Structure 1
């Protein structure tokens, strides 16, 4: 189910499936990087499903100055006494000790629905309180190409699973290409379709994207990891190096030297940037503490970052791979392959390229596909790049 909210300028803000907002769980956590629309989605849901003048519902942002002298538990107690039934908490990562107090709220007022949003770095499994059995966690990614089609062009398409896409890409692409020009729209999306706020100011969009990354590093990462100011400077430098080099196979020792830190610290910085959705790390199939070893390749978190930091000098191969990885990783497990660009769910092999890409790279592999840019419809195991934007 979709949510819409009429904005003051008559435009329509668009957000994705409500997930945790409609969950039967008493406590739900919605995480995502800055700018994907967590706050707007929450406010939309409240305005459409509750009487905003009723004492039974309350929205509060936890960066409010009120919390400098009051506790979250104190708020919940007063709210409950006055008939409160649904408590919506925004920016929870800015409140020290949030997990323990939310656990206490759940234990004290188990009938109260609590929905809270926070940074993509939040982890209910290692938050210092046992929330994993009490809360369900949802991740709100940036807009997919499918959602951009709806938001920008009013073209509604149902999401497609990867297995259905692989089986039916030919008839599906032929049918969809009758109603819009997918290659042209993909070019739009790669440039400014990931964050919904592009509609507010397209001319200033890339500056705002750069500011978003800066705030993620300066505010969101320190709010979730105990680091000092000089470490923030090193993480900024690391991101700058990555932005100028992606996609690449990292030499961790060299990166540590360039950043002015140690190898273990660098791996922790990379982990923090990945959890903040600033970058994508491509690993071999692995379990456990994968950050103890270096990633095989590094990408920026989405294609809009590439344009924000490289302008029109973006590498087209980088854009294609970043797009595929960012779309697939939202719904499937993506891993490094020494034979193709990506292995997905341990069985599908994908090689990415332009319309002239041949079959040489996937010769002899089962469940192998060529993903081609600049084509509208597919043929046999050749799938249009744009179709992977329909996965969520």
Structure 2
């Protein structure tokens, strides 16, 4: 009957909205991941914390390749329409009118998102570019999407990107091996073009996000990012009871006041009025959401899965947002582990960065690093192979002493 006949979607409104988005998008600065993504794959997933530029990245791709075409369409699961409209049926209707590429933003905000995506991939020829919270990392393997979609991680901006954004430059990135082997030549070359310490403090305080140049509104925006993660992203993905959001906020505040935090799990659980297993679960959620980094000691082996030995805020901008006067030693370590962790993101191994008894950190189970001030000695790591001092306040290093800022060129 006529009543049972499904009407097909009119996409005119969506294309008009898309043109409004594209008019505002600039192509002069692209995040580091843009050139690494293979957009020819049938399904691409880009995961990352709220605020790191996922939406801008896919709109830049759309503008650069499909601005005058109706073969590609951008939609966001923030749109109330998708509370009552099947994404699967929407996608099939789009394909029927000649659509070839569907860019789906904020997929984690759609209930049962994975079943929609799997069915679209299996039942259509559409290509998909999907963005979602970094929290989805906890979901993807269980959703059986790991073999259907190519996954990428977009992390906060590196120091190199901050310089490129501010100086309108195109400084290249260097691998960890290149920095360890050739740091003197690299640093001499770079410091001949700019003075790193004119910009490094700015990066530490407000340079890790694409809205870095909004100095007046930066901390307000970053507070909004934190609240979005705690009040929306984590509850959406983990089906967390909203009554527990205040406990998450309290946990983050307690951690931020004394990072790096060496946790007494039982005491921290009592302070937050949650059980010990729930606390460990919350720490895992907050790491996946890009708010903290949980590190364990190499010496603990498989016991490391029980609890972290130290907890850091994920980047130094969070420290300046949540604390009145962050400790400079903590900021050095946070910058180093943030840049290393982002550089290693997506790798299979779980022990790429760990705490070490001799020195502060061990990377790839091979390289030992001790972070400190200019005059930091090699005393603690003098007998350790492949060991390096990462020194703040030096423009150019020598031997196995490397400037801290240079690790901001890893990605």
Q: Give the C-alpha shift of residue 232 in structure 1.
A: 1.1
**Is 1:26 aligned with 2:26?**
no
Partner in structure 2 of residue 278 of structure 1: 291
Q: Is the 8 A contact 2:263 2:310 kept in 1?
A: yes
Cα distance in structure 1, aligned partners of 2:381 and 2:142: 46
Q: SS in structure 1 opposite 2:343? A: coil
Q: Is the 8 A contact 1:327 1:391 kept in 2?
A: yes
Distance change (3 Å), C-alpha of 1:380 and 1:171:
same
Q: Is the 8 A contact 1:55 1:82 kept in 2?
A: no
| Aligned counterpart in structure 1 of residue 372 of structure 2, from 343, 353, 357 | 353
**Is 1:373 aligned with 2:386?**
no
| Aligned counterpart in structure 2 of residue 298 of structure 1, from 308, 311, 315 | 311
- Name stretches of at least 5 consecutive residues in structure 1 with no aligned partner: none
Q: Give the C-alpha shift of residue 153 in structure 1.
A: 1.4
Q: Give the C-alpha shift of residue 340 in structure 1.
A: 1.2
**Is 1:188 aligned with 2:202?**
yes
Partner in structure 1 of residue 103 of structure 2: 88
Q: Give the C-alpha shift of residue 20 in structure 1.
A: 6.9
Cα distance in structure 2, aligned partners of 1:366 and 1:260: 45
**Is 1:210 aligned with 2:223?**
yes
Partner in structure 2 of residue 243 of structure 1: 256
- Name stretches of at least 5 consecutive residues in structure 2 with no aligned partner: 1-20, 345-351
Partner in structure 1 of residue 406 of structure 2: 387
Q: Give the C-alpha shift of residue 284 in structure 1.
A: 3.0
Cα distance in structure 1, aligned partners of 2:400 and 2:315: 26
Q: Give the C-alpha shift of residue 281 in structure 1.
A: 0.7
**Is 1:46 aligned with 2:62?**
yes
Partner in structure 2 of residue 317 of structure 1: 329
**CA-to-aligned-CA distance 1:316-344 (integer Å, 9 cap, x gap):** 00110000000001123211112211100
Q: Give the C-alpha shift of residue 302 in structure 1.
A: 0.4
| Aligned counterpart in structure 1 of residue 232 of structure 2, from 191, 209, 219 | 219
**CA-to-aligned-CA distance 1:334-380 (integer Å, 9 cap, x gap):** 11112211100000000000101111111200000000000000110
Partner in structure 2 of residue 130 of structure 1: 144
Q: SS in structure 1 opposite 2:331? A: helix
Q: SS in structure 2 opposite 1:123? A: helix
Cα distance in structure 1, aligned partners of 2:280 and 2:177: 34
**Is 1:262 aligned with 2:278?**
no
Q: Which runs of 4+ in 1 moved over 2 A?
A: 5-17, 19-24, 123-129, 284-292
Distance change (3 Å), C-alpha of 1:27 and 1:6:
closer
Q: Give the C-alpha shift of residue 132 in structure 1.
A: 1.1
Q: TM-score, normalised by structure 2?
A: 0.89
Q: Is the 8 A contact 1:124 1:131 kept in 2?
A: no
Distance change (3 Å), C-alpha of 1:7 and 1:164:
farther
Q: SS in structure 2 opposite 1:374? A: coil
Q: TM-score, normalised by structure 1?
A: 0.93
State which drifts further: 242-251 or 287-296: 287-296
Q: Is the 8 A contact 1:90 1:116 kept in 2?
A: yes
What count of residue pairs does the alignment treat as equivalent?
384
Please show how residues 65-104 of structure 1 align to structure 2 within 5 Å.
Answer: 65-104=80-119
Partner in structure 1 of residue 361 of structure 2: 342
Partner in structure 2 of residue 16 of structure 1: 32
